[in-house]
Structure 1
Amino acid sequence: MKMFKIIAVTATLFAGASAAYASPFNAMGGVDGLSMLSDATYATVLTTSAGDVPFLRSQTDTQALQQRIANNPYLAKSVHDQGYEITDVIGLDASGSSVTLYVL
């Protein structure tokens, strides 16, 4: 029975850590993501709610993010092709090779 409890607690902790890492608003996505923008060639642009704006802005320097997008012609085109302006972008999630930009 003790072994079952250990396995159950371990599984619960692992599932919680995995869920936190999979969050679309990964806290480190803002920090690490800015460095990924120079090599990115495409980004998915998603609309977020007004309630998420304070969190996204606290994780990313919005002006630096918008400047890096403007300096990357592929990302600038990607944002415009999806019907948004670069100044609409308020946050990002960059994990692996995918970049997701959030607009209000």
Structure 2
Amino acid sequence: MQHRPVVLSQEAMVAKRLEDAKRRKEEREYELDHLMTAPFRDAGRALGLLGKLRRGLTGEGFAPVFIKGVQYKLDIEGGYALENGQVLDRLVKIQPDPSLARLQSESQAKNA
């Protein structure tokens, strides 16, 4: 898999820079106007980072993908380009594992 950067024209780059500067200015004004809630926003950002750290350490949200005998970990939950797993469903045909289905039916029979 490869990330290809988007190539913008000169006009589009200038417009993007102006838009980014305007957005940063608005965010700065919001921060200064709402100082009392700033610790809660910062805590929310910190918790988000902890969740990403947990995913990285535990491997949660990654699927093993084998390409030519090499195992890769594919982010199927948090990847921006994957559209919450929808791209993977379009690219890969997922086949049910008969042994896993048999184990699930046996465990359901025991629980019933």
TM-score of the pair, normalised by structure 2: 0.28
Bigger radius of gyration: 2
Larger relative contact order (Cα-Cα within 8 Å, sequence gap ≥ 6): 1
